[in-house]
């Protein structure tokens, strides 16, 4: 099973806003129950070209409407990048991000904890990852 976590960079610091994250850390989960473990599989850049990844804003709110085809196309690139993932863990995701991700079969799980480390987020959420 593969799980995506939005992160700032190689430090694997959790980035709450999935649509504006600079990168996605893709982890492979193995084991079951209390014996689940997570291994970093890859780090993928957010493929959106309409963002300034060096100055990513975690609190940014999208204000684009449903008729903004170019903006929606940018979000859809994320769905393609996350193809093959079973889950993504987010603090927030706008409707365009959620639609792009779920249209590729990726389930969205909301994280409400305080951790900033991807590995800790995964451990805290592990009971929600169903095989």
pLDDT digits (tens, 9 = 90+) for 42-101: 999 999 877 664 545 555 555 555 556 777 788 889 999 999 999 999 999 888 889 999
Confidence label for 105 from pLDDT (cuts 50, 70 and 90): very high
CA distance 93 to 19: 6
Residue linked to tokens 């070209």:
49
Percent of the chain topping pLDDT 90? 62
pLDDT at 131 over 80: no
User: Is 2-128 a CATH 3.40.30.10 domain?
Assistant: no
pLDDT at 113 over 90: yes
Which pLDDT score is estimated for 66? 54
CA distance 124 to 109: 12
Average pLDDT score, the chain: 87
Which pLDDT score is estimated for 95? 87
Which pLDDT score is estimated for 57? 54
Beta bridge partners of 110: 90
Which pLDDT score is estimated for 32? 84
Which pLDDT score is estimated for 55? 47
For 85, other C-beta atoms within 10 Å of its C-beta total 23
């Amino acid at each position: 099973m593969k799980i995506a976590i939005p992160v700032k960079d190689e430090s694997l610091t959790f980035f709450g806003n999935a649509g504006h994250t600079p990168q996605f850390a893709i982890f492979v989960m193995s084991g079951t129950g209390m014996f689940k473990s997570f291994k970093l599989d890859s780090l993928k850049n957010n493929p959106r070209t309409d963002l300034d990844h060096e100055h990513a804003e975690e609190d940014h709110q999208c204000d684009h409407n449903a008729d903004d085809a170019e903006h929606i196309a940018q979000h859809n690139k994320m769905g393609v990048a996350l193809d093959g993932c079973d889950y993504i863990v987010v603090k927030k995701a706008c409707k365009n991000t959620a639609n792009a991700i779920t249209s590729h079969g990726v389930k969205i799980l909301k994280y409400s904890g305080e951790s900033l480390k991807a590995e800790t987020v995964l451990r805290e959420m592990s009971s929600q990852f169903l095989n």
